[in-house]
Structures are given as structure tokens and as C-alpha cells.
Structure 1
Amino acid sequence: MQWSIITIGKPGHPWVKDALDLYWKRLRHYARFDHVVIKEGPLDKVEQQIQAVCGKDPCIVLDERGRSLRSVEMANWIEREEVSGRKRVCLVIGGADGHSPGFRDKAQVCWSLSHLTLQHDIALIVLAEQIYRAYTIMRGEPYHRE
């Protein structure tokens, strides 16, 4: 399955790039990933660009108001999506303005990485790690402990 992770604005610190490089390297053994960066701007224009990138593929919005998943639940969701033959999924991390209520409502799913509001660079790292964790759970690899 192809994962498109969409963020608003480029990662702002070298340590963020280092952390992402680590997880992208680990994840390439499991699936294909691309990171799409959309330039910050008015929320309505940004959301139009996100919709254009996602097209008809499922759009999962990450927002503190979303549904909280345990790592095992995320692994189960990914496994179901892969078995379904899904070709691509878009995961969207908002910028400083977050997501509009209408955009959240249109999304296939709205997930929360935390009930706290996370700065988008930190949310990106947490997301990459959780996807990696989910794949190791699915493969029975000794990364996740429960």
C-alpha cells in the first residue's frame, strides 16, 4: 500500500529531519511512503490543495478531537486496509490553524495522536513511529511490548 503523509509546511528543525529519516528508512521495508508538503496559507486554500492531493483516496485527518487508537488497533486497521486491496491512503497533519470542522467531517476517518494539541513536526514524528510500530505488530516483530 502507498502512504501519502501530508503536512502543512516543511519540518522546521534538523532533529525532526533526522528522526523522520530514521523512520522512513525503517518503514521502506513494509510499504511505500511519500511526504507531501503543502505551503502554509489561508485554511480554505490549504484544504483545497489537500483534497487535490488525496483525490478519491481515503483521507485520514489527524486532530486532537479524533478517535484515539491503541497501537494494536492501528495495526489491525492497516492490515484490513491492505487486505482490502486499497492502493493508497492519505494521512493529513494540519498546520498552525489545524483543520476546519467541514474538512474533518468530510474525512473518511479522524484520528487523534493525543488529546493534547501537538506541534505539527512532533505529530509527524509520532505518526511515523506509530505506523512503524503497527507494521512490527502485524509482522510479529519484537518492537512493541504489551
Structure 2
Amino acid sequence: MRLRVVAVGRPRLDYARLGVEEYAGRIRKYAPLELLYVREAQELLPKAEGHRKVVLDERGRLYTTEELYRLLRGWEGERVAFLVGGAEGHLEAVRKGADLLLSLSPLTLQHELALLVLLEQLYRLLTLRAGHPYHRP
């Protein structure tokens, strides 16, 4: 699976920026990862062209780690783009262009924190796939 994460704006908060760098490096040990930043929400969909589009949205579906793992296993060999909105969330066109609306929590997360949580979960799923002890039930 080839992963692309497209986010509106670069993380500016130190904890988020450092965490994103840390988990992006960890992920790349298990799967190809492109981490792209755009300035405007309308730039998200064009950057995900040719990929299965997973849009992070508080109104999306909640998955357990195991459920999300099974879903992603079904996408092996595909290119998957995860789209993270900015402070204002997503445009309706982005939601409508999604193959999956994914919620990381029923809480509204600050967008830099959402990006960090997404990367941690992707790392967790990849270690689960590799049989690495990071993931525990």
C-alpha cells in the first residue's frame, strides 16, 4: 500500500510538528509515505487524484483499530490518500469526493492534533500488519 497524507497547512505547534516528523519517519520503515501540505482546502482533492480518498471528518465513521486494520488490509496494493482539513474543516466538495469519511474521535480535534493522531494510527496499523509488538489488543 502506498500512503499519501495531504493536510491543509504545515503544523506550527512544536508538539505537533515534532510528532508528525517522528511518526512519518516510523511509517516509512513499513510503507511508502508522501506527506504533502497545501494552503487551501480546495487543493486537497487534486493532490489525491488517482488514490482512494479517506477524508478525516468528525461526522465520519468511527472504527476500532482492528476494524480499520481489516479495512486497510483490503486495500493492499492500492494508493490511499488521507485528507486532513484545516481549522475550518472540509469543503462539502471534499466530503462528497471521499471514498470514506473517517472520524478519529467523536470529539472535534484541532487539525494539527488530528494529523498527528492519524499518523500514529497509521503507524500502529502498519506495525500490526508486520507483527511488530507496538500494537497490543
Q: Report TM bin, short chain.
A: over 0.9
Post-superposition offset of 1:100:
2.7
Q: Following TM superposition, where does structure 1 have runs of at least 4 consecutive aligned residues deviating by more than 6 angstroms?
A: none
Post-superposition offset of 1:112:
0.2
Which secondary structure does the structure 2 equivalent of 1:118 belong to?
coil
Give TM-score scaled by structure 2 length.
0.92
Amino acid at match of 2:17: K
Which secondary structure does the structure 1 equivalent of 2:75 belong to?
helix
> Aligned pair 1:33/2:28, yes or no?
no
Q: 2:103 aligns with which of 107, 112, 127?
A: 112
Q: 2:58 aligns with which of 64, 83, 90?
A: 64
Which secondary structure does the structure 2 equivalent of 1:91 belong to?
strand
> Aligned pair 1:141/2:132, yes or no?
yes
Change (3 A) 1:6 1:108: same
Alignment of 1:1-146 (within 5 A): 1-40=1-40, 46-47=41-42, 49-82=43-76, 85-86=77-78, 88-146=79-137
Structure (1 or 2) with the larger CA radius of gyration: 1
How many residue pairs align between the two structures? 137
Work out whether residues 76 and 138 of structure 1, in 8 Å CA contact, stay in contact via their aligned partners in 2: no
Work out whether residues 45 and 97 of structure 2, in 8 Å CA contact, stay in contact via their aligned partners in 1: no
Q: CA offsets per residue over residues 9-46 of structure 1, 9 Å max, x none?
A: 11012222211122112111111111111114xxxxx3
Ranges in structure 1 where 5+ consecutive residues have no aligned partner? 41-45
Post-superposition offset of 1:140:
2.0
Q: CA offsets per residue over residues 62-108 of structure 1, 9 Å max, x none?
A: 001000011111211221111xx31x211001111111334212210
Work out whether residues 72 and 137 of structure 1, in 8 Å CA contact, stay in contact via their aligned partners in 2: no
Tell me how far apart the structure 1 counterparts of residues 17 and 93 of structure 2 sit (CA, whole Å): 31
Ranges in structure 2 where 5+ consecutive residues have no aligned partner? none
Amino acid at match of 1:59: K
Give TM-score scaled by structure 1 length.
0.87
